[in-house]
C-alpha cells in the first residue's frame, strides 16, 4: 500500500486535483446544481463538447445512483457519491501523461504501483453518446475512466474531447488504505466521511426505495419531457437540456422504486434520449453559423 | 541489393484482445501494398505490445524491377476515335506507336521504383485502411470527421529501411527513428539504428516487444510462482495471452487471500479472479483450490512488488467478500421459494413468464422419465429438478455472474439437502452448451436438459420465431444441436419433432454430422425417404449406408442404380403382361430382387441396417450382369416394357434403404 499516514484526506485530495488541473489550463468549475447520475451530465461536459471551440474544465460532480443505495450498510456502495471530472477539447496529445501526473499529485507513485490502461469503451444510451478508452487500474483496482468522446447527443465530436472521471471515494479508500467508505478521513481534523454522509445514505436510501411517491415521479417525468420540448421550440437549449437531466433522474428514481417493467424500461430510456438529443441538436443549431464562420474546416 | 525493413506504429494502449488480429492484419496489409507495387516480400515477423505494433521484413530488394509491356491497339484503318482512346489509355503520343500488319502497338515501359519510395506510399496507405474492429479520432485534427482513425491515438512511426528513415507522414505523425521505452521504467526517447538493434534497445528500456516472449514469461513465471509456494498453477492460456497483451514488462506476482473465502464455491472464486481481475489461481497438491492468486504486474517495482501484491489482495478481498455475501444470502431462501419469483420474469411475451416455461419443462421432463424414454430416470426427481432448474436466475450470485447459471442452482440444491440426482440435473440442465461441451448422461439430468431445450424449440417454432440467415436471437440452433447430442449420445428413442421443426433438426443434424465426418448427401438420402423423426434410427441407417457405399459392392450398386434411374427418367411405358422368355441375366435379376426385397424389408423392420445393406449387396452382381447382356430398349415393345418394369422394381428395392439418387459420386 501507499504510505497511508501521509495520504491526503478526502478534501485535500480534491484540492490537490483542483490545483493540478488548474495549473494545466483547466477552468475549475463548481458542480451542476441539479441531481444527475454522473459528471458527464454537467453542461460543462455534454453541451460544451458539442461544437469546435476549445474547452478545458475540471470539477467535482455529486452523482446520484438511487438503485446503488444500501442504507449505509455496504462499505462500498452509495446512492450519492462524488466524481471528479476533467474535460479537455480537443483532447491534448499528452492527455495520458497529464492524467498520470494527476495521480502523482495525489500521492500514487507509479514506480511502486502497477498502473494499467485496460480496454473499456464507454456508452451512454440516454445521452446518445459513446467513446473509446480505458478503465485505469492501480494494482488491479479501477481508479478512473478515461475516454475519447466520439459522439455526443448523436453528433460526431468535432473535435474529439478527452474525458477523465475519477471515482473519488474509491480512489480515496485506496490511497488512505481503508476498507469502508465511511472510515475515510474527510479532513485532517478528525472528521470522517461517515460523519458527513452516513445519515444521508440511510435516509435517502429509504426515500429512494420506499417512500418516493411514484405518481408524483411519473407526473414529473411527463412534465419534464413536455417542458423540454417547449424549451427546444423556444430556442433555449440549455433550459431544454436541464429538463432532460430532470427526466433522466426521475427515471432512475422510478427504477429504484421498482415500478418500471423490463418492457417499459426501453421506452422510458428512449424518451430521455430523445430529450437529450433534441437539446443537443438545438444547441448546435443555435451556434451553428457562428461556429462555421470561426472554424472554416468545421461542419456539424 | 537488399535491405531489412523495420516498421513500428506506436499508440496509446491497444486492447489486449485485438492484438493478435492486428498483427495478422499488419502483415497482410504490408504484403498486399508491396506486392501491388511489384516488390517481392520474403520473411516477415510481426510483434505487438500494448503500446506498439511492429513489423520486420527481411531482405527486401532496394528497387522494383523495370517492366516492359506491349499493348495491342486498334487497326490503322479504324476511326480516329479508336486511336484517341488508345492514346488516352496508354498515355502516349501518336509518334510513340508502332505499326505492324495494319495494327497499332504501344510499348509501355515502367522503370524500377526505389523501395523507400514504395514504402513511403505504402505506410500511410496501410495505416489509413487498417481494419481495426473499432477505431477512433482524436486531437485537434479531429475537427474534421475525415481525420485519421486508429484504435487509440497514434503517437509515433518508426520506419527504417536498412539504416535510413523512410520519410512519410500520416495524420500529422511523421516517421523517424525515435521511439519510447517502458511508460514508467524508462525516461526519454530511444533512437533506433535499424532492424538489428530494435528489440535489444527496447529490451534495455524495459520493453519486451516480442509478444511470444512475454507470453512465455507470464506462463513460466506463473508456474514458477505457484511452484515456489508449493502449489500448482491452474493453466489458462487465454489469461496468459491477455496478460501478455496488457504488459510490456510482465512480472507475475503471487499473493494470498484470506482462506476464510474458500467456503465459497471454487468456480465463483476462479471466475471472480479471472474475469474481474485477470488473475491466475492455484491448487494445492491434493487438487483443492488454494488461497492464492497470481497477478501480472507491468513493472519491476522498487519494493519487489510488495505494494502491488498488497493492493491487489485488497481488491480481490473486496470482490470475494461480495461473492461470499451473495453465497450466504442466497442460501437463506430455499430454491422453491426463489422459483416462485420467476413468475415476474418474462421468458417471451408470447410464451409467458419463466415460471410458465418451468411448468412446461417440468411436465415434459416427468413424461420423458415416466414413459421410459429416458431409461432409469425417476419421474418425480425429474419433475422436482425441472421445477427448480431456473430458480438460481433470481439469486444474487447469478445476477452478478450470469455465466454461473445452473452451476449455482446445483450448489444451492445440494446445500438444501436435495438428492444428488436432482442437484446434478439442475447444475447440468443447460448442457451441452457448445460443440466441445460434455453431454449429460445421468438419467434425471438428461430428462431435464432435453425437456428444457425441446420446450424452447417447440415454443419459438409455434410462435414463428425461427432463425433466419445469421439471425438466431434465441440460440435455437444451439438448442437443436444440444437436443441432437443428448439423444444420440444417450441412444434415446423418441419422435423428436414434426413438420418445420423436424426439418430444422435435419439441417442441424447434417451440419453436426458433417463435422463428425459423415457425408451430408447420405443424410439427405435417408431423410428423403420421408418422416423419419427418430434420430437414433436415422443415424444408424446413415452410418450403415456410409460404410456400404465405401465398399466395392456399394460403389458398383450405386453405379447400377444411377444407370437404371437415368433410363427410367427418360422413358415412359405402360406395364404389359410378359409374353417372352426372359434372358438368363434378366431372370437372375428378377430372382435376386424377389429374394433381396423381403430380406431388406425384414432387416429394416429389425433396424438391422448392416443386414439391409448386405441384402442390397446381393443385387450388385445381377444388375451388373443385366446391363452387360440385356438390351432394355428392345425393339420388342413387350420386352421393353417388362425390362423397364424390372428396373423400376430394382430401384424400388434400393429405395427401401435410402434415396440413392441423392448420393453423390
Say what the pTM is. Answer: 0.80
Instruction: Say whether pLDDT at A2 is over 70.
Output: no
Instruction: Say whether pLDDT at B516 is over 50.
Output: yes
Higher pLDDT, residue B486 or B572: B486
Instruction: Say whether pLDDT at B282 is over 70.
Output: yes
**Closest CB from A150, A158, A262 relative to B143:** A158
Nearest to A67 by CA among B399, B616, B351: B399
What cell was used for B574? 405402360
Contact B295/A140, CB-based, under 8 Å? yes
Contact A139/B308, CB-based, under 8 Å? yes
Contact A112/B17, CB-based, under 8 Å? no
A256-260, B564-568, B579-583, B661-665: least confidently modelled range: A256-260
Residue ranges of B 149-178 with Cβ closer than 8 A to chain A: 151-153, 155
Phi/psi for B595 (5° steps) reads -85, -45
CA closest to B303 among chain A residues: A112
Rounded to whole angstroms, the Cα distance separating A232 from A223 reads: 14
B102 contacts: CB under 8 Å, gap ≥ 6: B75, B76, B77
Paired strand residues for B70: B107
Q: Are B526 and B538 in contact (CB under 8 A)?
A: yes
The whole-number pLDDT of residue B596 equals: 92
Region for residue A78 given its phi and psi (left: phi exceeds 0; alpha: psi -120 to 50; beta: otherwise): beta
**Closest CB from A1, A111, A134 relative to B301:** A111
CA closest to A140 among chain B residues: B312
* Long-range pairs of B453-456 with CB within 8 A, sequence gap ≥ 24: B453/B479, B453/B480, B453/B482, B453/B483, B453/B486, B454/B364, B454/B483, B454/B496, B455/B357, B455/B360, B455/B361, B455/B364, B456/B357
Inter-chain contacts counted by CB atoms under 8 A, chains A and B: 127
Paired strand residues for B109: B68
What cell was used for A138? 492501480
The whole-number pLDDT of residue B89 equals: 86
With H, G, I as helix, E, B as strand and everything else as coil, classify residue B204: helix
Mean pLDDT for the stretch of residues B27-47:
95
B526 contacts: CB under 8 Å, gap ≥ 6: B532, B538, B541, B542, B545, B658, B659
Tens digit of each residue's pLDDT (9 = 90 or more) over A175-222:
998 989 999 999 999 999 999 999 999 999 999 989 999 999 999 999
What cell was used for A258? 421498482
Which secondary structure element, helix H or strand E, spans residue A187, and what is its range?
Answer: none
Rounded to whole angstroms, the Cα distance separating A179 from A193 reads: 12
Confidence of residue B517 (pLDDT cuts 50, 70, 90): confident
CA closest to A141 among chain B residues: B315
Query: Helices A214-233 and A262-294: crossing angle, nearest 10°?
Result: 30
- C-alpha torsion B655→B658→B663→B665, nearest 10: -70
Which secondary structure element, helix H or strand E, spans residue B411, and what is its range?
Answer: helix B407-415
Tens digit of each residue's pLDDT (9 = 90 or more) over B245-265:
999 999 999 999 999 999 999
Residues from chain A that touch B142, judged by Cβ atoms under 8 A, are 90-91, 157-160
Residues from chain B that touch A262, judged by Cβ atoms under 8 A, are 346
Contact B316/A91, CB-based, under 8 Å? no
Sign of the CA dihedral running B85, B86, B91, B95: negative
**Three-state secondary structure along chain A?**
CCCHHHCCCHHHHHHHHHHHHHHCCCEECCCCCCCCCCHHHCCCCCCCCCCCCCEEEEEEEEEECHHHCCCCCCCCCCCEEEEEEEEEECCCCCHHHHHHHHHHHCCCCCCCCCEEEEECCEEECCCCEEEEEEEEEECCEEEEEEEEEEEECCEECCCCCEEEEEEHHHHHHHHHCCCCHHHCECCCCCCEHHHHHHHHHHHHHHHHHHHCCHHHHHHHHHHHHHHHHHHHHCCCHHHHHHHHHHHHHHHHHHHHCCCCCHHHHHHHHHHHHHHHHHHHHHHHHHHHHHHHHHCCCCCC
- C-alpha distances (whole Å) from A271 to each of A213, A277, B589 are 21, 10, 79
Tens digit of each residue's pLDDT (9 = 90 or more) over A268-289:
999 999 999 999 999 999 999 9
Tens digit of each residue's pLDDT (9 = 90 or more) over B351-360:
998 999 999 9
Q: Are B498 and B531 in contact (CB under 8 A)?
A: yes
- C-alpha distances (whole Å) from A112 to each of A100, B153, B514 are 13, 27, 56
Nearest to B283 by CA among B355, B345, B232, B213: B232
Rounded to the nearest integer, the mean pLDDT of chain B is 93
Mean pLDDT for the stretch of residues B88-114:
87
Contact B17/A119, CB-based, under 8 Å? yes
Mutate to test the interface with B, among A139, A144, A177, A296 (most CBs of B within 10 A): A139
Place of cell 451530465: A41
Nearest to A160 by CA among A91, A92, A261: A91
**Closest CB from A117, A141, A159 relative to B143:** A159
Tens digit of each residue's pLDDT (9 = 90 or more) over A227-266:
999 999 999 999 999 999 999 999 999 988 878 876 678 8
Q: Are A90 and B142 in contact (CB under 8 A)?
A: yes
Q: To the nearest whole angstrom, how far is the Cα of B526 from the nearest Cα of chain A?
A: 45
CA closest to B173 among chain A residues: A93
Paired strand residues for A80: A64
Confidence of residue A4 (pLDDT cuts 50, 70, 90): low
The whole-number pLDDT of residue B514 equals: 87
Tens digit of each residue's pLDDT (9 = 90 or more) over B221-246:
999 999 999 999 999 999 999 999 99
Confidence of residue B598 (pLDDT cuts 50, 70, 90): very high
Which secondary structure element, helix H or strand E, spans residue A248, and what is its range?
Answer: helix A237-256
Residue ranges of A 107-146 with Cβ closer than 8 A to chain B: 110-119, 121, 131-134, 138-141
Mutate to test the interface with A, among B10, B11, B13 (most CBs of A within 10 A): B13
Does the CB of A27 have a partner CB in chain B at under 8 Å?
no
Q: Are B353 and B345 in contact (CB under 8 A)?
A: yes
Mean pLDDT for the stretch of residues B20-31:
98
Confidence of residue A5 (pLDDT cuts 50, 70, 90): low
Residue ranges of B 290-329 with Cβ closer than 8 A to chain A: 295, 297-299, 301-303, 307-308, 310-312, 314-316, 318
Q: Are A246 and A32 in contact (CB under 8 A)?
A: no
Does the CB of B380 have a partner CB in chain A at under 8 Å?
no
Tens digit of each residue's pLDDT (9 = 90 or more) over B577-588:
999 999 999 999
With H, G, I as helix, E, B as strand and everything else as coil, classify residue B67: strand
Contact A139/B307, CB-based, under 8 Å? yes
B530 contacts: CB under 8 Å, gap ≥ 6: none
Tens digit of each residue's pLDDT (9 = 90 or more) over B301-333:
989 999 999 999 999 998 898 899 899 989 999
Does the CB of B136 have a partner CB in chain A at under 8 Å?
yes
User: What is residue B439's DSSP assignment?
Assistant: P
Confidence of residue B93 (pLDDT cuts 50, 70, 90): confident
**Closest CB from B152, B279, B310 relative to A1:** B310
Tens digit of each residue's pLDDT (9 = 90 or more) over B415-456:
999 999 999 999 999 999 988 899 999 999 999 999 999 999
Rounded to whole angstroms, the Cα distance separating B287 from B284 reads: 5
Instruction: Say whether pLDDT at A3 is over 80.
Output: no
- What separation, in Å, do the N-terminal and C-terminal C-alpha atoms of chain B show? 54
Instruction: Say whether pLDDT at B534 is over 50.
Output: yes
CA closest to A174 among chain B residues: B311
Q: Are B234 and B280 in contact (CB under 8 A)?
A: yes
Nearest to B538 by CA among B527, B550, B553: B527
Mean pLDDT for the stretch of residues B176-181:
97
Place of cell 524500377: B112
Does the CB of B616 have a partner CB in chain A at under 8 Å?
no
Q: To the nearest whole angstrom, how far is the Cα of B155 from the nearest Cα of chain A?
A: 8
Place of cell 522494383: B64
Paired strand residues for B233: B282
Amino acid at each position: 500500500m501507499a504510505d497511508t499516514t501521509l495520504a491526503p484526506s478526502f478534501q485535500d485530495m480534491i484540492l490537490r486535483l483542483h490545483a493540478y488541473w488548474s495549473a494545466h489550463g483547466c477552468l475549475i468549475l463548481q458542480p451542476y446544481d441539479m441531481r444527475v447520475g454522473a459528471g458527464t451530465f454537467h453542461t460543462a461536459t455534454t453541451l460544451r463538447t458539442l461544437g469546435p471551440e476549445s474547452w478545458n474544465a475540471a470539477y467535482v460532480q455529486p452523482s446520484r445512483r438511487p438503485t446503488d443505495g444500501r442504507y449505509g450498510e455496504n462499505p462500498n456502495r452509495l446512492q450519492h457519491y462524488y466524481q471528479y471530472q476533467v474535460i479537455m477539447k480537443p483532447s491534448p496529445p499528452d492527455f495520458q501523461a497529464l492524467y498520470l501526473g494527476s495521480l502523482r499529485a495525489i500521492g500514487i507513485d507509479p514506480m511502486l504501483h502497477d498502473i494499467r490502461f485496460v480496454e473499456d469503451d464507454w456508452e451512454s444510451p440516454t445521452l446518445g453518446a459513446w467513446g473509446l478508452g480505458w478503465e485505469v487500474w492501480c494494482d488491479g483496482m479501477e481508479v478512473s475512466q478515461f475516454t475519447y468522446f466520439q459522439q455526443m447527443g448523436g453528433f460526431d465530436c468535432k473535435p474529439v474531447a478527452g474525458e477523465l472521471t475519477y471515482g473519488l471515494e474509491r480512489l480515496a479508500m485506496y490511497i488512505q488504505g481503508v476498507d469502508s467508505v465511511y472510515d475515510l478521513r474527510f479532513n485532517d481534523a478528525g472528521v470522517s466521511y461517515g460523519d458527513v454522509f452516513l445519515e444521508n445514505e440511510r435516509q435517502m436510501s429509504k426515500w429512494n426505495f420506499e417512500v418516493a411517491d411514484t405518481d408524483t415521479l411519473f407526473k414529473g417525468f411527463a412534465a419534464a419531457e413536455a417542458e423540454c420540448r417547449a424549451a427546444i421550440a423556444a430556442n433555449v437549449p440549455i433550459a431544454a437540456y436541464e429538463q432532460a437531466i430532470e427526466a433522466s433522474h426521475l427515471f432512475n428514481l422510478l427504477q429504484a422504486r421498482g415500478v418500471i417493467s423490463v418492457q417499459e424500461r426501453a421506452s422510458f430510456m428512449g424518451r430521455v434520449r430523445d430529450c437529450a438529443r433534441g437539446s443537443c441538436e438545438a444547441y448546435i443549431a443555435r451556434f451553428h453559423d457562428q461556429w462555421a464562420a470561426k472554424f472554416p474546416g468545421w461542419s456539424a | 541489393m537488399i535491405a531489412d525493413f523495420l516498421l513500428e506504429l506506436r499508440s496509446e494502449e491497444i486492447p489486449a484482445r485485438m492484438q493478435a488480429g492486428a498483427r495478422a492484419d499488419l502483415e497482410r496489409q504490408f504484403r498486399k501494398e508491396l506486392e501491388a507495387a511489384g516488390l517481392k516480400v520474403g520473411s516477415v515477423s510481426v510483434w505487438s505490445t500494448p503500446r506498439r505494433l511492429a513489423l520486420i521484413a527481411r531482405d527486401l530488394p532496394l528497387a522494383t524491377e523495370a517492366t516492359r509491356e506491349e499493348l495491342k491497339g486498334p487497326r490503322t484503318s479504324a476511326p480516329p476515335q479508336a486511336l484517341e482512346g488508345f492514346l488516352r489509355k496508354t498515355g502516349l503520343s501518336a509518334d510513340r506507336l508502332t505499326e505492324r500488319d495494319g495494327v497499332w502497338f504501344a510499348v509501355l515501359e515502367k522503370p524500377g521504383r526505389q523501395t523507400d519510395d514504395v514504402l513511403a506510399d505504402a505506410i500511410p496507405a496501410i495505416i489509413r485502411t487498417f481494419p481495426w474492429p473499432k477505431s477512433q479520432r482524436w486531437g485537434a485534427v479531429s475537427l474534421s470527421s475525415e481525420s485519421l482513425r486508429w484504435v487509440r491515438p497514434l503517437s509515433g512511426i518508426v520506419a527504417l529501411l536498412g539504416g535510413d528513415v523512410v520519410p512519410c507522414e500520416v495524420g500529422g505523425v511523421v516517421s523517424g527513428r525515435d521511439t519510447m521505452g517502458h511508460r514508467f521504467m524508462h525516461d526519454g526517447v530511444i533512437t533506433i539504428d535499424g532492424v538489428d538493434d530494435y528489440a535489444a534497445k527496447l529490451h534495455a528500456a524495459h520493453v519486451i516487444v516480442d509478444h511470444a516472449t512475454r507470453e512465455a514469461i507470464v506462463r513460466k513465471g506463473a508456474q514458477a510462482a505457484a511452484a515456489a509456494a508449493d502449489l500448482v498453477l491452474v493453466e489458462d492460456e487465454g489469461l496468459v495471452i491477455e496478460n501478455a497483451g496488457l504488459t510490456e514488462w510482465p512480472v507475475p506476482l503471487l499473493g494470498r487471500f484470506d482462506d476464510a473465502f474458500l467456503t465459497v464455491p471454487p468456480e465463483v472464486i476462479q471466475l471472480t479472479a479471472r474475469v474481474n481481475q485477470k488473475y491466475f489461481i492455484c491448487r494445492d497438491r491434493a487438487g483443492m483450490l488454494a488461497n492464492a492468486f497470481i497477478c501480472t504486474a507491468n513493472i519491476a517495482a522498487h519494493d519487489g512488488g510488495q505494494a502491488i501484491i498488497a493492493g491487489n489482495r485488497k481488491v480481490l478481498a473486496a470482490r470475494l467478500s461480495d461473492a461470499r455475501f451473495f453465497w450466504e444470502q442466497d442460501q437463506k431462501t430455499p430454491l422453491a421459494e426463489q422459483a416462485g419469483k420467476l413468475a415476474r420474469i418474462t421468458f417471451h411475451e408470447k410464451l409467458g413468464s419463466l415460471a410458465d416455461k418451468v411448468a412446461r419443462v417440468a411436465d415434459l421432463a416427468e413424461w420423458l422419465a415416466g414413459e421410459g424414454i429416458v431409461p432409469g430416470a425417476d419421474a418425480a426427481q425429474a419433475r422436482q429438478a425441472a421445477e427448480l432448474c431456473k430458480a438460481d436466475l433470481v439469486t444474487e450470485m447469478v445476477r452478478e455472474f450470469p455465466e454461473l447459471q445452473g452451476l449455482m442452482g446445483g450448489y444451492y440444491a445440494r446445500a438444501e439437502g436435495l438428492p444428488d440426482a436432482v442437484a446434478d440435473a439442475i447444475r447440468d440442465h443447460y448442457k451441452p452448451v457448445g460443440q466441445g461441451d460434455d453431454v449429460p448422461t445421468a438419467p434425471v439430468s438428461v430428462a431435464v436438459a432435453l425437456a428444457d431445450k425441446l420446450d424452447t424449440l417447440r415454443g419459438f417454432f409455434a410462435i414463428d420465431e425461427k432463425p433466419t440467415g445469421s439471425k438466431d436471437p434465441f440460440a435455437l440452433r444451439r438448442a437443436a444441436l444440444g437436443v441432437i447430442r443428448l439423444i444420440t449420445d444417450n441412444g434415446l428413442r423418441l419422435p423428436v419433432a414434426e413438420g418445420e421443426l423436424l426439418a430444422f433438426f435435419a439441417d442441424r443434424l447434417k451440419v453436426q454430422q458433417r463435422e463428425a465426418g459423415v457425408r451430408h448427401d447420405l443424410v439427405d438420402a435417408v431423410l428423403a425417404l420421408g418422416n423419419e423423426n427418430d434420430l437414433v434410427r436415422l443415424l444408424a441407417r446413415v452410418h450403415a449406408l456410409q460404410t456400404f457405399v465405401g465398399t466395392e459392392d456399394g460403389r458398383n450398386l450405386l453405379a447400377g442404380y444411377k444407370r437404371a434411374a437415368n433410363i427410367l427418367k427418360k422413358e415412359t411405358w405402360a406395364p404389359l403382361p410378359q409374353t417372352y422368355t426372359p434372358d438368363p441375366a434378366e431372370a437372375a435379376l428378377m430372382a435376386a430382387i424377389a429374394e433381396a426385397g423381403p430380406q431388406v424389408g425384414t432387416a429394416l423392420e429389425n433396424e438391422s441396417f448392416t443386414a439391409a445393406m448386405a441384402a442390397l449387396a446381393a443385387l450388385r452382381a445381377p444388375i451388373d450382369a443385366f446391363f452387360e447382356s440385356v438390351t432394355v430398349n428392345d425393339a420388342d415393345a413387350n420386352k421393353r416394357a417388362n425390362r423397364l418394369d424390372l428396373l423400376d422394381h430394382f430401384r424400388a428395392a434400393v429405395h427401401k434403404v435410402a434415396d440413392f439418387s441423392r448420393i453423390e459420386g
